[in-house]
A = this chain, B = another copy of it.
Amino acid sequence: MEDLRDDRDSWTSENCSVARAMDIVGSRSTVLIMREALLGTRRFDDFVRRVGVGEPAMAARLKEMVAAELLERIPYREPGQRTRHEYQLTRKGRELLPVITALRNWGDTWTAADTGPSIVATHHDCGEPIRAVLRCAAGHEIADGDIDIIAGPGLVRRD
């Protein structure tokens, strides 16, 4: 089986899904808004307070995230108030949970030595902590050296 790492200069970085994902979720404030949305935050004022970003910057960022279909803008109205909007995670947004979890796990290990983690995600049924780990579709646990890198349909080879 050809492993693409053996001849890295025979293929280009075109159609790289890591780069495309970073184009959408590559900014610190986008990731922190996703963190809060995954914790249940939906309202503008709550995002501002909990993420620690000013109102104009938050408004601009949320607009981008709605355009990128990470969040959906939903009208709501409390009695006696005008109609306002809240931000609900789309499926595309919710599926960033493994990315945010992997980042949090790494941050817990490598950046939180002085304080320990602020929050811990645990399995509701058994109480054990949750991590983002590598598994293959057959269910095998994957260690560092167990990986082959093969061509997908979007691979662009050099002549």
A interface with B by C-beta (< 8 Å): 1, 4-5, 8-9, 11, 13-28, 31-32, 35, 39-41, 46, 49-52, 92, 94-112, 115-138, 140, 142, 144-156
Contact = CB atoms under 8 A, between A and B. Distances in A.
Copies of this chain, count: 2
Given A112-B154, A120-B152, 16 more contacts: A9-B49, A17-B108, A21-B107, A25-B103, A26-B31, A95-B110, A99-B106, A101-B102, A102-B102, A118-B151, A121-B147, A121-B149, A124-B148, A125-B146, A128-B137, A132-B134
A99 to B, nearest CB: 4
Main secondary structure of the interface of A (DSSP, over half): mixed
Given A27-B26, A128-B136, A138-B126, A99 B103 contact: yes
